[in-house]
Copies of this chain bind each other. A is one copy, B any other.
Amino acid sequence: MSIRRGITLSFDVNSLKFDQAGLLPAIVQDKASGEVVMLAYMNKTAVEKTLATKETWFWSRSRQELWHKGATSGNVQKVLEVLYDCDRDTLLVKVVQNGAACHEGYFSCFHNRIEEDGSVTVVGEKMFDPDEVYKKK
């Protein structure tokens, strides 16, 4: 059995497997609580800027532009760790999540739980009113 643990390799952003659109999914987890707060997509530039600035950058598929998370709401994500998976096609970014990650005002975007009886329960507390925050722009 080969022991790989602790071996240090060199990181090359080009070794990541981006999809046909040049993107890969990045899971964002609040390190302190362990809560998964969102998933968004990064292109090569977003990965590089996230590593360089220690704040999260994504590619917005709807707006087709680079997106500095928190630029509007003020809730930037401080990056503590960036990991990639065995297939090199997904990132896990562990952050300090200040305030709500979700544009709807929840700490986590994953606030809809599917129950056994087929109902959906909204879990998690609303931390801000999106109408108030985003109207300020």
Contacts and interface: CB of A to CB of B under 8 A. Distances in A.
Count the copies: 2
Given A34-B34, A39-B90, A110 B85 contact: yes
A92 B36 contact: yes
A25 B91 CA distance: 13
Closest 5 pairs between A and B when the two form their complex, measured CB to CB: A34-B34, A85-B109, A9-B120, A83-B110, A92-B110
11 contacts: A1-B129, A4-B122, A4-B126, A8-B119, A8-B120, A11-B115, A11-B118, A27-B36, A27-B39, A36-B92, A83-B123
Interface residues of A, number: 51
B114 A83 contact: yes
A119 B34 contact: no
Interface of A: 1, 3-11, 25, 27, 29, 33-36, 38-39, 51, 81-87, 90, 92, 102-104, 106, 109-115, 118-126, 129, 132
